[in-house]
Structure 1
């Protein structure tokens, strides 16, 4: 059975708007929340980027839904020991209803301290060591670690998670999918890619959950919704590794000039055609995803929540 959650986009909304969306999501019938972790938005039009760990603390007091990061990078901007402390506290605040989604990150967020941006193979190696280190710390025991990328001396999480804190690994290519199968408690995938899911399961992911997300732009006027999605999230349609290697919102704005309005119209559900939205979400369920997170693009959140409460979610769960 697939669970349907709401995706909170820190890149696009203020802290107050995110909290209100979380409350509306709970009232609408979404059963869980996911939240992005960014230092920068993808472009200036999105215009926001609150700290995810502050937001999770606030969410724990605002709603009673499970929360997952989709995704955080525990390798550069935040040391894995600090990420482990933040995740453990989040898990305690949420009474164990927290999952830590991790990935190898994007230069957009991770280069801000002046660190060199490594190639994928090195970033994957860093992520594997970081996950191993965080899991040691989650035990609540004192940890000393001297690895290739990280050093920790006499570190102990006195506020450790109660029970197992799942670490879900995101992947955007075949090698990353195999890494996710090997080290992850689950797989984060932003589209129903059967080849990637097969690699994940063959590498050790059999029986582990697959989690996905998609963005939509619900609205009465489909053409206006397409314009909104094209203005705010053209980056969803950028090919290859551009999302991982471009360093600033300005670079994404330059690259996004190549993204056509037609591409957005064909790849992002826009407007209020219930069948279009249901088909896009159901593709994930049919592919075997255990959790799917849907995020609304633009300011018309009220119309989205009403439409999904009255029409889309009943069609998906009925």
Structure 2
């Protein structure tokens, strides 16, 4: 049986309306949410176009459905590094229920700065480069549960002479995080 997703059209509705629609979609039994990333509405009558990453943050607090951008364009309007950070934040907010959908965009939403709009073949090359940046940044963020990875990541700061190094736990298992650092990481760094 296929999954059925509900499409949230950012270019047509306000943030509050999108959250209400998401709640109704979940109550109606939809399996997922797809959300557009538009800078402008398609026409003047639509009149809304909230920032998709803010809407995703609101959705993370309102529904339990997976959310996917359909699609975001990491080429001209928004740098791929910003998209990588926004996607990582969304994934953390949604507890792994986020998927990043990307594409080459269209002039209405991406050609907002007055720069020349590249041909499709050029945009495809730009998208490939953007995906390399996103993958590189995304792969370097989490440490996981391997003590050696944590120790290596933090040792760089200690060796650089930082007097204080702060770490943060993403997730619900705060006690597990503190136990892990107390028994595995801090003794290695201090030893």
1:101 alignment partner, SS class: coil
* Counterpart position of 2:26: 26
1:172-199 Cα shifts (integer Å, max 9, x gaps)? xxxxxxxxxxxxxxxxxxxxxxxxxxxx
Matches of residues 16-55 of structure 1 in structure 2 within 5 Å?
A: 16-55=16-55
**Counterparts of 1:23 and 1:44 in 2: how far apart (Å)?**
27
1:78-130 Cα shifts (integer Å, max 9, x gaps)? 00001100011000101111011110001101111222200011000000010
1:236-262 Cα shifts (integer Å, max 9, x gaps)? xxxxxxxxxxxxxxxxxxxxxxxxxxx
Matches of residues 216-227 of structure 1 in structure 2 within 5 Å?
A: none
1:3 alignment partner, SS class: coil
**Counterparts of 1:53 and 1:116 in 2: how far apart (Å)?**
26
* Counterpart position of 1:181: none
Query: What is the TM-score of this pair, normalised by structure 2?
Result: 0.73
**Counterparts of 1:15 and 1:8 in 2: how far apart (Å)?**
10
* Counterpart position of 1:89: 89
Compute the displacement of 1:46 (Å): 1.6
1:122 alignment partner, SS class: helix
Give 5+ residue unaligned stretches, structure 1: 142-157, 163-318
Give 5+ residue unaligned stretches, structure 2: 142-166, 172-191
Q: Does 1:101 align with 2:97?
A: no
**Counterparts of 1:92 and 1:33 in 2: how far apart (Å)?**
17
Query: What is the TM-score of this pair, normalised by structure 1?
Result: 0.44
* Counterpart position of 1:294: none
**Whose relative contact order is higher, 1 or 2, with alpha carbons under 8 Å and at least 6 apart?**
1
**Counterparts of 2:140 and 2:114 in 1: how far apart (Å)?**
32
**Counterparts of 1:104 and 1:49 in 2: how far apart (Å)?**
19
Compute the displacement of 1:65 (Å): 0.5
1:209-228 Cα shifts (integer Å, max 9, x gaps)? xxxxxxxxxxxxxxxxxxxx
Equivalent pairs, count: 145
Answer with 1 or 2: which has the greater Rg.
2
Compute the displacement of 1:31 (Å): 1.2
* Counterpart position of 1:190: none
- Deviating 4+ runs (over 3 angstroms): none
Matches of residues 238-317 of structure 1 in structure 2 within 5 Å?
A: none
**Counterparts of 2:60 and 2:25 in 1: how far apart (Å)?**
14
Compute the displacement of 1:34 (Å): 0.5
Which structure is higher in strand share?
A: 1
* Counterpart position of 1:2: 2
Q: Does 1:12 align with 2:12?
A: yes
**Counterparts of 1:86 and 1:113 in 2: how far apart (Å)?**
21
* Counterpart position of 1:69: 69
**Counterparts of 1:120 and 1:5 in 2: how far apart (Å)?**
28
**Counterparts of 2:64 and 2:115 in 1: how far apart (Å)?**
38
CA-based RMSD: 1.8
